[in-house]
Amino acid sequence: MVTYTVRKGDTVSLIAYKHRIRPIDLVMHNPMIRFELDYVVPGQNITLPEHAPSNSKLTEEEDLLCEFGLQQLEEDRLSIEQLGIKASVIGFSVMGQPIYAWTIGTGKKKCFYSGGWHANEWHTSKFLSRFLLQCVQKCVTSDHWHGYSLVEIFKNIQLHIVPMVNPDGIDLVLQGVYEDHPYKKQIVEINQGMSRFNHWSANIRGVDLNHQWPGWEKEAQGSPTKPWPRHYGGPHPLSEPESIAIFQYVKKIKPDYVLAFHSQGQVIYWGYRNLEPPESKEMVNKLCQASSYSAIHTAESDAGFKDWFIKDTRKSGFTIEVGTGTNPLPAQSFTEIWTNNVTLALKGLTL
């Protein structure tokens, strides 16, 4: 019998594939793991089958089947650093976890990509982190990607990218709440005693980070009035450290346009109360063509990040709703998300 002690960020799939076994094998060897998407918590000892080889790196195919949290972002961060690009920390989450940003390119034009706003939308973090890694790799090797020369692209543009705005929330969706979780009491209360967090999109204090931007007052009237798994806009606009970090970063870098990644729906929202500049329409058409996603002018809501950006700067902002299904999308959705969004994100660099 081989014992493995669960680490922060582990999931059943990650542990299984790293040991070259199937998630179902872990369920069969461990009565306390009831199903393949059950939580495993840091410090918990689990049994691996005798034949399981020791911890090894995931193959590309196995990686497609695995979840993506802060631990995985940290691994990508090291890979990107080895290629010569360092991350900066633009702020910290409620639980003190870093919010990472990367800058690549030297162009005058600036764009800002962000993801992982909502806890159960971790696919967007995985997508942006892997997209960034590939961009950096292809700059190093001077390879083309879908016909684009990344070296040339990054002479004309500066890409600023924050793949994971909400690391605490994403960890909660992936690992659940455990005995020594510092916010256990509050989380269980907000979640009405339920122990599953599939539907949780807020940060760890139950504030929706894409529901608390200036313009908040109107939206707040029709939303939950106290911490809630989704749609509570907080006690006032920009009350949460994660939102403040993005606000300050965007004010500092002054992007020409922004793409905020969410899931799901395979659509792109491109307007806000008709305040967007006329070129937004042409830009969204290009993004749709590159991805096969559909353009929708506006969601008729306020208090989102891209809404605030359009209103504050009168520049273009887009919300990309990747994937289709019910959040959290299954890990397998990543294939579609990757296929359609690589070409979208590349097109986004040349708008």
For 334, the token pair is: 């990543």
Active-site pick, 67, 179, 321, 336? 321
**What string of H, E and C letters represents the secondary structure of 69-100?**
CHHHHHHHHHHHHHCCCCCEEEEECCCCCEEE
What mask, x for binding Zn ion by CB under 5 A, covers residues 237 to 266?
-------------------------x----
* In the complex, least distance from residue 166 CB atom to Zn ion, rounded to whole angstroms: 10
For 144, the token pair is: 């083309």
d(CA 243, CA 122): 17
For 282, the token pair is: 């042409």
* In the complex, least distance from residue 111 CB atom to Zn ion, rounded to whole angstroms: 19
Toward Zn ion, which CB reaches closer, 30 or 319?
Answer: 319
Token pair 């949290």 is at which residue? 69
Q: How far is CA 252 from CA 123, 129, 223, 304, in A?
A: 27, 22, 30, 19
d(CA 336, CA 292): 11
Toward Zn ion, which CB reaches closer, 118 or 347?
Answer: 118
* In the complex, least distance from residue 242 CB atom to Zn ion, rounded to whole angstroms: 13
Among 69-77, 78-86, 112-120, 168-176, which window interacts with Zn ion (CB under 5 A)?
112-120
Among 23-31, 119-127, 129-137, 164-172, which window interacts with Zn ion (CB under 5 A)?
119-127
Toward Zn ion, which CB reaches closer, 123 or 205?
Answer: 123
Please report whether residue 160 would count as binding Zn ion according to CB under 5 A. Answer: no
Q: Residues binding Zn ion: what is the number (CB under 5 A)?
A: 3
Please report whether residue 211 would count as binding Zn ion according to CB under 5 A. Answer: no
d(CA 268, CA 271): 10
Q: How far is CA 25 from CA 33, 47, 48, 174, 291, in A?
A: 10, 10, 8, 19, 37
In b/e form, how buried is each residue of 60-76, taking b as 16+ CB within 10 angstroms?
eebbbbbbbbbbbbeeb
Q: Phi and psi dihedrals of 81, rounded to 5?
A: -65, -40
* In the complex, least distance from residue 130 CB atom to Zn ion, rounded to whole angstroms: 19
Among 60-68, 113-121, 168-176, 216-224, which window interacts with Zn ion (CB under 5 A)?
113-121
Toward Zn ion, which CB reaches closer, 158 or 203?
Answer: 203
Toward Zn ion, which CB reaches closer, 18 or 123?
Answer: 123
* In the complex, least distance from residue 210 CB atom to Zn ion, rounded to whole angstroms: 6
321 an active-site residue?
yes
Could you say which of 19, 77, 118, 130 contacts Zn ion (CB under 5 A)? Answer: 118
**Which residues make up the interface to Zn ion (CB under 5 A)?**
118, 121, 262
Give catalytic residues, as residue numbers: 321
